[in-house]
Amino acid sequence: MDLTAGHVWVMVSAALVLLMTPGLAFFYGGMTRAKAALNMMMMSFVSIGLVGVVWVLWGFSMSGGDGVAGLFGNPFASFGLEDLIGTEDMIGAGFGATFAIITVALISGAIADRAKFSAWAVFVPVWVTLVYCPLAFMVWGGGLLGEEGAIGSVVGEAIDFAGGTVVHINAGVAALVLALIIGKRRGFGSDPSHRPHNIPFVMLGAAMLWFGWFGFNGGAAGTAEEAGLIWVNTLAAPAAAMVGWLITERVRDGRPTSLGAASGIVAGLVAITPACASVSPIGALGLGLVAGILAALAVGLKYKLGYDDSLDVVGVHLVAGLVGTVAIGFIALPVDGEGGGLFYGGGFAQLGAQIVATVVAIVFSAVMTLIIGLAIHKTMGFRVTEEQEINGVDLSEHAETAYELGGIGVGGSFRPVAESTTAPIKESVNS
């Protein structure tokens, strides 16, 4: 089959989405302490490696094809993707892999500064297999929530164009569950060292995420007209969300911040993800503004409610994901003059479908993540020791430091420049 413009666009979009995970590494890495930056970035990078393997072997098969009780596809249907060789479906398989990668990588921000890298390396393939792939099948692969699924056929099919439920609500709920299982960081809420150590990294990461998000949302566009709407909405919503977040900071704290600008962009991107092909540009602006304000307010809830979501995955991805998914029931445009959201005279049908899909995603992700997280925590342990946390997880987990200043590693080890870089690090970790 000849390579068409549509095929090329999907491959370019897949590359853009893959770039989002290194962008997330910069975004998260800058938000941590200096002595945890490498570990945070490695949690994103290793997600690419682990999910890439899982997706080729059985992940793609589980997210589509013939289903098992409407919950997941047959893991062996396209095992190793051998049957896709010579078909255009291989392009879609590659595109889908990048979504699975970024979804699990998002979770890591909630457990920054205190998680064992080995435990994370076990969690990633297990969670993608048992949580991401089944939910992707339920929503996009013809499963329970699809038009002909057991739930979708009764309440109607929910709209989730690029991942409000499958990616952001899923990751946000999982992040909250893991944060509760692992517990708070030492000095949570009182130690000033937990402030972001590199805001330029955060802003660079936000820029890379926004750039890649045009592929994230636009990769599945079916027509030029739809692609144009998606592109403009992917510009409008995060722009409005950034403004909303900065206004909230100005009113609440007296000044807007760079971290707030970057976080507002991400909140707007999250909110528009499920709705990017279904709302007008005005609707995207309103959606982004609301998401930016609510997410800015939500990130402070962890101090009031007592859970330690290190990098605000819950406040940004779960809250903005909920806003974007449910808002479709209000502001979705009619299709061929029919349906649409409540504000367009479409009644409560679409709103009901959105709420049901949201509840299913929350419950499924919470229960499955709880089982996986507890199993790992009770067997190999998910958290480093207090001494390792104090010294920094970069040293304890990787025997590296992010910054070397005059022979002194920021992670805590003194290393004369002329000496070997290995032994002194080990001494510091074990001291």
Q: Which residues contact 425 (CB under 8 A, 6 or more apart)?
A: 395, 399, 400, 401, 409, 413, 415
pLDDT value at 412 more than 70: no
Predicted confidence at residue 405, as pLDDT, reads 67
CA distance linking residue 117 with residue 307, whole number of Å: 21
SS3 of the chain: helix, strand, coil, percent, to 5: 70, 5, 30
274, 45, 277: which is closest to 169 by C-alpha? 274
pLDDT value at 413 more than 60: no
Higher local confidence (pLDDT), 134 or 404: 134
Predicted confidence at residue 1, as pLDDT, reads 60
Among the ranges given (36-45, 385-394, 402-411), the one the predictor scored with the smallest mean pLDDT: 402-411
Burial 214-240 (b: 16+ CB within 10 A, else e): bbbbbbbbeeeebbebbeebbbbbbbb
Q: Average pLDDT, whole number, for the chain?
A: 92
Please work out, in degrees rounded to the nearest 5, the angle formed at the alpha carbon of residue 168 by the alpha carbons of 250 and 142. 150
- CB–CB of 66/73 below 8 Å? yes
CA distance linking residue 288 with residue 415, whole number of Å: 48
Predicted confidence at residue 151, as pLDDT, reads 96
Reading the block at residue 370, the tokens are 């709880």
Predicted confidence at residue 367, as pLDDT, reads 98
Express each pLDDT in 216-247 by its tens digit. Answer: 999 999 999 999 999 999 999 999 999 999 99
